[in-house]
Amino acid sequence: MKNILHIDSSVRHTNHSKESYNSISKSFGRIFIEEWMNKNHQNTVIYRDLGLNPPTFISEDWIAAAFTPKSERTLVQNLILSESDRYFNEVAKADIIVITAPMYNYGMPAVLKAWFDQVLRVNKTFTFDLSRGDFPIETVLSGKTLVLLTSSGEFGFGEGGVRENMNHLNSHIKELAKHLGVGHCYEIGSEYQEFADNRHISSVKQAKQDILTLVELLAQK
């Protein structure tokens, strides 16, 4: 039995009557989860729609609370960190983390960055020790798989693509995910959305097929 943490980050909905208004990345996540649960009825899914319920941005008081030893925190500091604690507990329980993310201005949506900022905490997801030299950070969690499902308006953001150096979405998420204990990452995405042509249609169709193939692969592990 596996625990799945499903994180959507698009600010768009999926119930518009006009299909082009709906979130593509969220539709990818729904396909993955539905197909997964069809094959794994006993699994548990925790779902968060960050676009509809944005995480709180961290503050100076949040930082002070996070760096205060747990035994010394005040009631107010514990309250400030309560949202972060909920997110962390969800990540800690997860075997597979499914993150769906549209590309906004060549990076991740602000709500997703806010979630990462809430989750990634010293002595929770990582430890910091200067005796380790120039690389003092060590990850606490391990053994998790990330499924990253993306959509973008332009194209060529993959390895060797004409816009590879402009892709600050996938690379940033994958780097941060290491500190969530992610050891394996699978990426599937569609492109060409702003062109609204046959290339986009083909890209979405291929992504959906790749998702079904990935579910089959992961279900066998």
Reported as a pLDDT band with limits 50, 70 and 90, residue 41 is confident
Could you tell me how many residues make up the chain?
221
DSSP one-letter code for 136: -
Mean pLDDT of 125-151: 97
Is 63 labelled a binding residue?
Answer: no
Interval 26-51 mean pLDDT? 94
The CATH number given to whatever domain includes residue 161 is: 3.40.50.360
> Is 84 among the annotated ligand-binding positions?
no
Cβ(76)–Cβ(36) below 8 Å: no
Residue whose token pair is 């997801």: 125
**Predicted confidence (pLDDT) at residue 14 exceeds the cutoff of 90:** no
| 23 annotated as a binding-site residue | yes
Asked whether the predicted pLDDT for residue 123 surpasses 80, the reply is yes
Strand segments, DSSP code E, in the chain are: 3-8, 44-49, 96-102, 126-128, 137-139, 144-151, 182-190
pLDDT value for 53: 97
175-187 burial by CB neighbour count: b if 16+ within 10 A, else e?
ebbbbbbbeebbe
pLDDT at site 156: 97
Give the structural domain span for 52.
3-219
How does 76-114 read in b/e, with b if 16+ C-beta sit within 10 Å?
ebeebbebbeebbebbbebebbbbbbbbbeebbbbbbbb
pLDDT score of 52 more than 80: yes
Q: Is 150 within 8 Å of 101 (Cβ atoms)?
A: yes
24 labeled part of a ligand binding site: yes
pTM strictly above 0.85? yes
Count of domains in the chain? Answer: 1
What is the Cα–Cα distance from 89 to 91, expressed in whole angstroms?
5
Burial class (CB in 10 A: 0-12, 13-18, 19+), 142: exposed
Sign of the CA dihedral running 71, 72, 75, 81: negative
